[in-house]
Chains A and B, each alone.
Chain A
Amino acid sequence: MSGTGGADDHDEPGRKLRRLRHLRRDMAAQVEPAYWRSARRSTLAVLFLGSLLLLGVPLVAEQLDAVGVLGIPLGYYAMAQGCLIAVAILMLFAMRRQRDRDRRPVAAGEPGGAHVTSPAMPPAVPHE
Chain B
Amino acid sequence: MSNGSDNGTRALARGVSPLTRALAMAGDGLSGTLMLGFTGALAALGHDGLAFLSGIAGGWLIAMTLIAPHLQRAGHLGPVMFVARRFGSVTAVAAGGVLVLATLVLLAAELTALAMPLRLLLGVDGPTGVAIAAALTLVVALAARSGAVTGLQALLFVPLAAALMLPVFLPALASAGVPVPQLAYGAVLQSISDLELKRLGEELADPVSLKAYLRPFTTMTPSATVMLTLSMALGLAAMPRLLMRPVQAGSAHQARWVLAVGFVLLLLALLALPPLAAAVRHGLLETLVGREPGRLDPWLFDLGRAGLARVCGVAAVSADAVSAACAALPEAPERLRLDDIDLARDALLLALPALGGLPSLVTHLLAAAVAVAALAAAAWLAVALRDDVAGIGVRPPPLAEHPAGETSDTPPLWRRMLALVLVLAAIAGAAAFAATDPADLATLVAWGLAVAAAGLTPALVAGIWWQRATAAGTFAGIVCGVALTVYYIVATRYFAIGFYETWSGLSNAGFGAVADFEAARDALAAAAGEDQAAALAELDAAARRAANWFGIRSIGAGVLGAGAGTLVLLLVSAVTPRPGPSARLLVERMRMPSHGG
Chain A residues close to B by CB (< 8 Å): 1-11, 20, 24-25, 28, 31-32, 35-36, 40, 43, 46-47, 50, 54-55, 58-59, 61-62, 65, 68, 70-73, 75-76, 79-81, 83-85, 87-88, 90-92, 94-95, 98-99, 101-103, 106, 119, 121, 123-128
Contact = CB atoms under 8 A, between A and B. Distances in A.
A95 B233 contact: no
A85 B267 contact: yes
7 contacts: A5-B85, A5-B88, A58-B50, A59-B222, A73-B214, A94-B64, A102-B594
Nearest to A100: B597
A88 B60 CA distance: 9
A103 B47 CA distance: 43
B250 A126 contact: no
A94 B594 contact: no
Interface string B454-489: 000000000001000011100100000000000000
Contact of B583 (A7, A73, A75): A7
Contacts of A125: 73, 397, 399, 589, 592, 594
A101 B253 CA distance: 11
Interface string B562-597: 000000000000000001111101101101111111
A1 to B, nearest CB: 3
Contact of B88 (A2, A72, A87): A2
A42 B263 CA distance: 20
B50 to A, nearest CB: 4
A81 B274 contact: yes
B270 interface: yes
Given A72-B189, A95-B253, A28 B594 contact: no
A37 to B, nearest CB: 10
Interface in B399-429: 399-404, 408
A58 B187 CA distance: 22
B54 A83 contact: yes
Interface stretch (B224-232, B289-297, B433-441): B224-232
Contact of A126 (B399, B471, B586): B399
Interface string B270-282: 1100100000000
Contacts of A3: 88-89
Where chain B touches its partner, the secondary structure class is helix
Contacts of B186: 68, 70-72
Given A91-B264, A94-B260, 15 more contacts: A4-B580, A5-B86, A5-B586, A9-B395, A10-B396, A24-B399, A36-B591, A47-B61, A84-B271, A88-B260, A92-B260, A98-B253, A102-B593, A128-B253, A128-B595
Contact of A128 (B182, B251, B260): B251
Contacts of B595: 102-103, 119, 121, 123, 128
Interface residues of B, number: 88
B596 A103 contact: yes
A94 B203 CA distance: 52
B84 interface: yes
Given A8-B585, A71-B189, A85-B267, A91 B259 contact: yes
B50 A80 contact: yes
A28 B263 contact: no
B144 interface: no
B62 interface: yes
A1 B396 contact: no
B157 interface: no
Contacts of A123: 592-596
Nearest to A101: B593
Contacts of A20: 399
B154 interface: no
A124 B400 CA distance: 10
B183 interface: yes
A120 B224 CA distance: 51
A55 B61 CA distance: 13
A25 B582 contact: no
B257 interface: yes
B51 interface: yes
